[in-house]
Amino acid sequence: MKKVNKFAVLGLILIGIFLVWKMNNQPKLEFEQLPNQVNISKESTNRPVFISIPNKQVSLTVTDSKIINNKWETSQTGASHLSVSANPGTPGNIVIFGHNKQALFGKIRQLKLGDSIYLTDNNGKKYGYNVVEILTVRPSQIEVLNKTDYEVLTLYTCSGFADSLRFIVKAYPLKEV
């Protein structure tokens, strides 16, 4: 019978404990700094309330979320719209984020250039977007969330070992929905 290496067994146990801990603890879906956004009146009638990505079977409610004490409010059941970012149909960066879970934003990592994303506002109007850029950034690279002079939809979730990176999808408006 082979002799069992106690250090190998201990290592496997520690890895198992880490994986169980990781699965049971929500990642912090945040960047190291705050993005350069403008305060937009939430009296606006075109706040996003639903996101759909048909070819990835993503259909989620969207709630407005704030940054409080440098921590991003994140929905546990849907997607979150950064409340100080733009709204659909207006110039600016529309920032929508969600946890990297299969039932939430985990599937956005399968998006390809040209794929369609749809937002529905609080009046039921639908807005379509085409994916134009997909990238992975460090939490310090917040420029992807900064305000813009043109309408762009930015989706993001965590990525990398122990959620050490951010997965970003940029999409421009479709001509017709």
Cα(69)–Cα(158) distance, rounded to whole angstroms? Answer: 20
CA distances from 154 to 94, 111, 119 (A): 6, 13, 12
Burial 5-23 (b: 16+ CB within 10 A, else e): eeeeeeeeeeeeeeeeeee
| pLDDT score of 108 | 93
pLDDT band at 171 (very low <50, low <70, confident <90, very high): very high
Identify the pLDDT of residue 123. 93
The domain 27-173: what is its CATH number? 2.40.260.10
Within 10 A of 118 (CB to CB), how many other CB atoms are there? 19
The predicted pLDDT at position 26 comes to 47
Question: What one-letter code names the amino acid at 150?
Answer: Y
Which pLDDT does position 72 carry in this prediction? Answer: 78
9 — pLDDT class (breaks 50, 70, 90): confident
Between strands 71-72 and 48-53, the pairing is unpaired
For residue range 23-61, list pLDDT tens digits in order: 555 445 555 555 666 544 445 668 999 999 999 999 999
pLDDT (tens digit per residue) in 102-151: 899 999 999 999 999 999 999 999 999 999 999 999 888 888 989 999 99
Q: Residue 91: its pLDDT value, please?
A: 93
pLDDT at 2: 62
Where would I find the beta strands (DSSP E) of 22-84? Answer: 48-53, 58-65, 67-68, 71-72, 79-82
Q: How do beta strands 92-97 and 116-121 pair?
A: unpaired
Phi-psi region of 15 (alpha: psi -120 to 50; beta: other; left: phi over 0): alpha
The residue behind tokens 């460090």 is: 138
* pLDDT score for 87: 94
Phi first, then psi: give them for residue 16, nearest 5 degrees. -60, -45
Q: Which pTM does this prediction carry?
A: 0.79
Amino acid at 163: D
Residue pLDDT, tens place only, 49-93:
999 999 999 999 999 988 777 777 888 999 999 988 999 999 999
What pLDDT shows up at residue 41? 47
